């Protein structure tokens, strides 16, 4: 890349330790060591998905990733997952380069624990007040993920988050995520001040991705409007919205919520158990789609950028397209201002 691109890459690349500040979002059952290492070896930054993975299995995934790449990578932890406390202890012991807190918001002591181990810490921020709280806890950087993204998402679009947070916070590197699939879009986010970008759906379609062929074919057929987020029916059962392609599995989830709410009404189960059932559903449904290819009952978690994806590509092809688009657009903007 020439000096123009490098100028916009510097802050994010230095923070992540990668050649390009292009992150692959952590996708449960998809972001395995093979995909993470391929992205890192191509110059990007991969993230293992902690999900609710048993501690020893996640440890083996970290060890396998380290055998496949000598580049830095992150591990994404879901703070509401039952396995989360043990996962965090293990990551601090293994001294991973970057820990990303997701799913909800980490508590101050967790951030301190991660930083004390030598890891850099990233957290998601869906509002300016949350961004300031995370900065108060000592996070090293923020990820702004708009509701356009796939998987567990917030309720605010990326365009609003950019104005609320990116334009107001200069203290730490901020990475933009949600609905991003082209180099041209990446270029404009860098011009607006983002230190880097995070993509998920496009990398799920990579040839190196372990996702089942049926899963990928469903993505190719889908339009942006087909990726919808789930509703929450009752405040007693707080459900982090999930964006996925509409199918029978999504309908099954809605029925599950209503069934759990009825059980809460009757006092048959505590709220914590109901919440565990929700997370267990998504873990199982996503596995059915990604690994078994059940695109009817499985969960097809996808961002609205699925409407911009036409087929499978190798990681090398994806990076070539993204980097070419970034370089071309930055030069176009420069020439238009001269």
β-bridge mates for residue 145, sequence order: 177
Same domain, 76 and 195: yes
In this predicted structure, what is the pLDDT of residue 239? 74
Same domain, 168 and 110: yes
Q: At which residue do the structure tokens 């580049």 appear? A: 71
- Sign of the CA dihedral running 70, 16, 286, 86: positive
| CB-count burial class (<10 Å; 0-12, 13-18, 19+) for 305 | buried
Report how far residue 289's alpha carbon sits from residue 221's, in angstroms, rounded to the nearest whole number. Answer: 15
Same domain, 96 and 182: yes
Same domain, 233 and 111: no
CATH number at residue 101: 3.20.20.70
Same domain, 196 and 243: no
Token pair belonging to 205: 């379609």
In this predicted structure, what is the pLDDT of residue 102? 93
In this predicted structure, what is the pLDDT of residue 2? 56
For residue 277, the surrounding DSSP H or E stretch is helix 271-290
Report how far residue 206's alpha carbon sits from residue 36's, in angstroms, rounded to the nearest whole number. Answer: 11
Q: If we measure between CA atoms, which residue out of 304, 51, 18 comes closest to residue 158?
A: 304
- Specify the number of domains making up the chain: 2
b/e for 52-88, b at 16 or more Cβ within 10 A?
bbebeebbebbeebeebbebebbbbbbbbbebbeebb
**Domain range spanning residue 103?**
3-208+308-337
Residues 6+ apart with CB under 8 A from 14: none
Residues 6+ apart with CB under 8 A from 273: none
Same domain, 167 and 242: no
CB atoms within 10 A of CB 315: 23
In this predicted structure, what is the pLDDT of residue 196? 98
- Per-10-residue mean pLDDT of the chain, 338 residues long, equals 81 98 96 98 97 94 98 95 94 97 92 97 91 96 96 90 94 96 98 98 97 97 95 82 91 91 92 83 89 94 96 97 96 92
Same domain, 49 and 138: yes
Same domain, 68 and 86: yes
Same domain, 275 and 258: yes
Does the predicted TM-score (pTM) go above 0.75? Answer: yes
Q: If we measure between CA atoms, which residue out of 206, 117, 188, 198 comes closest to residue 153?
A: 198
Same domain, 282 and 327: no
Same domain, 19 and 79: yes
Same domain, 9 and 87: yes
242-245/227-229 β-pairing: antiparallel
DSSP string, 33-71: HHHHHHHHHTTSB-EEE-TT--HHHHHHHHHHHHHH-SS
74-78/196-199 β-pairing: unpaired
* 3-class DSSP string for 190-242: HHCCCCEEEECHHHHCECCCCCCHHHHHHHHHCCHHHEEECCCCCCCCCCCCE
């Amino acid at each position: 890349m020439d000096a123009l691109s490098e100028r916009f890459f510097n802050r994010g690349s230095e923070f992540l330790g990668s050649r390009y500040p292009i992150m692959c979002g952590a996708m449960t059952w998809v972001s395995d060591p093979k995909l993470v290492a391929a992205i890192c070896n191509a110059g990007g930054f991969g993230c293992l998905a902690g999900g609710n993975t048993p501690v020893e299995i996640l440890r083996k995934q970290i060890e396998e990733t380290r055998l496949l790449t000598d580049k830095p990578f992150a591990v994404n932890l879901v703070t509401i997952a039952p396995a989360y406390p043990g996962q965090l202890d293990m990551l601090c012991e293994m001294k991973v380069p970057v820990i990303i807190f997701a799913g909800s918001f980490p508590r101050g002591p967790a951030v301190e624990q991660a930083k004390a181990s030598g890891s850099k810490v990233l957290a998601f921020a869906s509002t300016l007040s949350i961004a300031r709280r995370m900065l108060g806890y000592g996070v090293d950087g923020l990820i702004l993920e708009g509701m356009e993204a796939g998987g567990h998402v917030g309720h605010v679009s990326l365009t609003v988050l950019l104005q609320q947070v990116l334009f107001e916070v200069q203290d730490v590197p901020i990475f933009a995520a949600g609905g991003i699939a082209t180099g041209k879009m990446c270029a404009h986010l860098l011009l607006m001040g983002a230190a880097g970008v995070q993509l998920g759906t496009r990398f799920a379609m990579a040839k190196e991705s372990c996702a089942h062929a049926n899963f990928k074919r469903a993505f190719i057929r889908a339009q942006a409007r087909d990726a919808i987020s789930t509703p929450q029916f009752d405040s007693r059962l707080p459900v982090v919205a999930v964006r996925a392609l509409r199918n029978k599995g999504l309908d099954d989830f809605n029925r599950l919520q209503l069934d759990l709410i009825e059980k809460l009404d009757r006092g048959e189960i505590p709220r914590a158990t109901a919440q565990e059932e929700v997370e267990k559903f998504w873990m199982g449904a996503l596995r059915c789609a990604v690994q078994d290819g059940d695109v009817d009952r499985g969960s097809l978690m996808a961002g609205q950028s699925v409407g911009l994806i036409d087929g499978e590509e190798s990681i090398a092809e994806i990076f070539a397209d993204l980097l070419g688009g970034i370089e071309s657009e930055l030069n176009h903007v420069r020439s238009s201002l001269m």
